[in-house]
Amino acid sequence: MVLLTGLLAALTLASSATAAVCTPRPKTYEAEDAVLSGTTVATAQAGFTGTGYVTGFDEGSDKITFTIPSASTRLYDLTIRVAAIYGEKRTTVILNGGAASEVYFPSSTTWADISAGQVLLNEGDNTLEIVNNWGWYLIDSITVAASAPRPAHNINADLVNPNADANAKTLYSYLRSIYGKKILSGQQELSWANWIAQQTGKTPALVSVDLIDYSPSRVERGTVGTAVEEAITHHNRGGIVSVLWHWNAPTGLYDTEENKWWSGFYTRATDFDAQAALADTTNANYTLLIRDIDAIAVQLKRLQAAGVPVLWRPLHEAEGAWFWWGAKGPETAKKLWGVLYKRLVEHHGINNLIWVWNSILPEWYPGDDTVDIVSADVYAQGNGPMSTQYNQLIELGQDKKLIAATEVGAAPLPDLLQAYQTHWLWFAVWGDSFINNQEWNSLATLNTIYNHDYVLTLDEIQGWQNLN
């Protein structure tokens, strides 16, 4: 913690002196000149720079290690020149043996320069590792260029639903008031939020619950949801509520030994075809989609009646395609989002929802008129600032939408968030095997985060409902 505080102070000093010193020029480092571990230099793919490129990312430990000198502690933009000729991929970037970040490489047939977020270089030599992750890509070089100061945000003043109720409007106003100044602490599941209170003496400001067990194809097999009660409990103690929905497919569950019925939200566990279901409004599977949405509307209306404004995050991680609502590509997912919005808002009159979109790639974005907040789910170890995803979401929402880290494996360290100017509105750590896993979140780290001035906890947000 002392080291991080020192870095933040050094960065502040460096920033204040910017006018008095020259901005460092961009610098490119060739991959073939770096230290290779399990990887090799090749020349078969035309168009590389330098004397070759690096390939052979096929084992978990395969990596390249660059050494990058810096004259001062400073924030830099990182660009990776890559050829993802085997399809879309993801890599892991680790700076100075610390926080990891995940970088997405879109499929390509040639070389492309991919923005990889930012890196806070220390004065002196720094190490930057590119580690396998999905593997099967080619790395030509990296480039670091001094980051420009982040401009002021220009967040939309109003919610997309013109009939949003007073509770939703009050919450949105509060969120706008803290954006860029503080981050809301958050946790998936009420029980784990209470566990954090036992470990740190602080309760998360936000609790995320899942409507999964209200899905009709689960209810008919005996599930009984408790998420609504948990959400109301947290709301009644002055907290903020986020809601997602692992939507078990309406029908077509394989229910095999490999893919049980309760995993029916996964693409691998169902033959439900969202594209075919949305082809017209008269087919049986479209009727089942509406049946499911109506079942969830019942639960959302319970929250509305209890005065609970909801950060509503359906169809999450659609771009990953591992859930059936993303399996047929962006056009189908966007169409389903539109059906959800129209059914819940216009048909059911549910006006306590703040609509949270949860994919980063521009081709998946359903449009500004049905999205209040853009977000990402990030699972990378090291408690880093997740600058890659934050910067992508700034671009996606044109800095007019609030930005949230709606699911994380590792809670971010606040000093790094401030140093990188990654103004996430909230973070929410996933439950069992992440929040209680020392490799992802040590108790010392959780105590540092939950007792930091930049991080808002339940006791510190009391009275937000009275903002207006």
- Does the pLDDT at position 7 exceed 50? yes
Tokens of 46: 């035309």
Whole-angstrom distance, CA of residue 47 vs CA of residue 49:
7
- Which of the pair, 332 or 467, is modelled with greater confidence? 332
Write down the pLDDT at residue 6. 54
Write down the pLDDT at residue 2. 44
Backbone angles phi, psi at 457, to 5 degrees: -115, 175
Write down the pLDDT at residue 9. 54
Whole-angstrom distance, CA of residue 27 vs CA of residue 55:
22
Length reported for the chain: 468
What confidence tens digit (pLDDT) does each residue in 198-223 have? 999 999 999 999 999 999 999 999 99
**Catalytic residue from among 30, 129, 189, 317:** 317
What confidence tens digit (pLDDT) does each residue in 239-275 have? 999 999 999 999 999 999 999 999 999 999 999 999 9
Percentage of the chain surpassing pLDDT 90? Answer: 94
Long-range contacts of 324-330 (CB under 8 A, 24+ apart): 324/247, 324/249, 324/265, 324/266, 324/267, 324/270, 324/272, 324/274, 325/247, 325/274, 326/267, 326/359, 327/267, 327/274, 328/273, 328/274, 328/275, 329/275, 330/361, 330/363, 330/364
Q: Would residue 30 show up in a list of annotated catalytic residues for this protein?
A: no
- Does the pLDDT at position 330 exceed 60? yes
Would you list the DSSP string of 115-170? EEEEEEEPSEEEEEEEE-TT---EEEEEEEEEPPPPPPP---SS-S-TT--HHHHH
Whole-angstrom distance, CA of residue 82 vs CA of residue 109:
10
Mean pLDDT taken over the chain: 95
Judged on CB neighbours under 10 Å (0-12, 13-18, 19+), 279 is middle
- Which of the pair, 262 or 23, is modelled with greater confidence? 262
- Does the pLDDT at position 390 exceed 70? yes
Q: Would residue 407 show up in a list of annotated catalytic residues for this protein?
A: yes
Q: Residue 250 is inside which H or E element, if any?
A: none
Whole-angstrom distance, CA of residue 113 vs CA of residue 107:
12
As a whole number, mean pLDDT of residues 90-102 equals: 95
Tokens of 105: 């490489």
Confidence of residue 467 (pLDDT cuts 50, 70, 90): confident
CA 123 to chain centre: 30
**Catalytic residue from among 123, 407, 439, 460:** 407
As a whole number, mean pLDDT of residues 112-128 equals: 97
- Does the pLDDT at position 14 exceed 50? no
Angle formed by the axes of helices 190-200 and 227-236, to 10°?
40
